[in-house]
């Protein structure tokens, strides 16, 4: 597989973990309870740990003395390939949980397939991440049920978040040319094959939570092509500030 296309394929996976990890890290000290606060912080750490593994691999492919820091901190907004879903803000706790639930369900399905990649490095990262992401999915699914089948207010707020964020889930299954090349090389995952199982799992949890699956048929897209929402620039300003202000700092 073309090296540049392999790098772009890795970005399309790794950038999701970085940006969602950054969003979850914003909750440190702001969770609704101490236990939940710590859980969200630990999930952020899991995602950032996965990101480091992917970015270290990218740095090796780039050569020329590049490091994971360069990959994380010195790219511009248009160079990030994460889906729009993960960059959406922490509007309220319902949005945090709905965003996490939608991505966790996809992420676990992806890693379960990626662990069989012919690329040994990607396969190893996937195998290591499955245990962590299994917990993430269990955590977010349980909270969906607690909020949906809880009070009238919690039901209303989580349904609001699900309805608003559903518009960003379609992009999870988009295939770019580099994705297709990765599949043909036996390296990547054909995410279109995950859609039916994804929707089934989403519906099962929402039904149990007495929540409705949105009927929306039109979805927001652009993140995988580097065209992001208005939230992305502010997120990167926080994420990259120290490195750009004080160059050559290390993680």
- For 205-250, the DSSP string reads HHHHTT-PPP--------GGGT---HHHHHHHHHHHHHHHHSTT--
CA nearest neighbour of 84 among 65, 103, 66, 101: 103
Question: Residue 251 has what pLDDT?
Answer: 57
Tally of CA atoms within 13 A in the half-sphere of 145 that contains its CB? 11
Model confidence, pTM: 0.95
Contacts of 187 (CB under 8 A, 6+ apart): 1, 6, 9, 117, 118, 119, 122
CA nearest neighbour of 163 among 196, 108, 193, 202: 202
Question: Residue 34 has what pLDDT?
Answer: 80
Sites in the chain below the pLDDT cut of 70: 249-251
Question: Residue 206 has what pLDDT?
Answer: 98
CA nearest neighbour of 27 among 13, 47, 11, 12: 47
Tally of CA atoms within 13 A in the half-sphere of 224 that contains its CB? 18
Is 3-245 in CATH node 1.20.1260.10? yes
CA nearest neighbour of 57 among 45, 72, 67: 67
Tally of CA atoms within 13 A in the half-sphere of 60 that contains its CB? 9
Distances (CA, A) of 152 to 144, 145, 182, 207, 208: 14, 13, 46, 16, 16
Within 10 Å of residue 226's Cβ, how many Cβ atoms?
18
CA nearest neighbour of 47 among 113, 99, 118: 99
CA angle at 10 for the pair 99 and 13, rounded to the nearest 5°: 10
Question: Residue 35 has what pLDDT?
Answer: 85
Q: What's the rounded Cα separation, in Å, for the pair 131 and 133?
A: 6
Question: Residue 250 has what pLDDT?
Answer: 65
* Tens digits of residue pLDDT in 94-142: 999 999 999 999 999 999 999 999 999 999 999 999 999 999 999 999 9
């Amino acid at each position: 597989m073309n090296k540049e296309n392999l790098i772009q394929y890795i970005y399309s996976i790794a950038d999701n973990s970085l940006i969602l990890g950054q969003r979850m890290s914003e909750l440190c000290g702001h969770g609704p309870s101490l236990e939940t606060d710590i859980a969200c912080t630990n999930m952020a750490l899991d995602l950032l740990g996965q990101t480091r593994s992917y970015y270290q691999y990218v740095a090796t492919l780039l050569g020329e003395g590049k490091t994971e820091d360069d990959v994380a901190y010195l790219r511009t907004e248009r160079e990030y390939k994460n889906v729009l879903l993960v960059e959406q803000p922490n509007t309220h706790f319902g949005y945090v949980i709905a965003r996490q639930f939608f991505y966790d369900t996809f992420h676990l399905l992806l890693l379960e397939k990626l662990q069989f990649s012919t690329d040994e490095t990607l396969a190893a990262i996937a195998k290591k991440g499955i245990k962590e992401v299994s917990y993430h999915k269990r955590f977010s699914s349980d909270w969906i049920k607690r909020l949906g089948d809880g009070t009238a207010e919690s039901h209303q707020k989580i349904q609001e978040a699900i309805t608003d964020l559903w518009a960003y889930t379609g992009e999870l299954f988009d295939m770019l040319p580099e994705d297709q090349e990765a599949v043909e090389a036996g390296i990547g995952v054909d995410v279109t094959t995950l859609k039916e199982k994804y929707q089934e799992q989403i519906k099962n949890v929402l039904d149990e939570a007495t929540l409705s699956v949105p009927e929306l048929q039109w979805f927001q897209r652009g993140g995988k092509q580097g065209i992001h929402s208005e939230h992305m620039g502010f997120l990167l300003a926080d994420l990259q500030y120290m490195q750009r202000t004080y160059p050559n700092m290390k993680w």
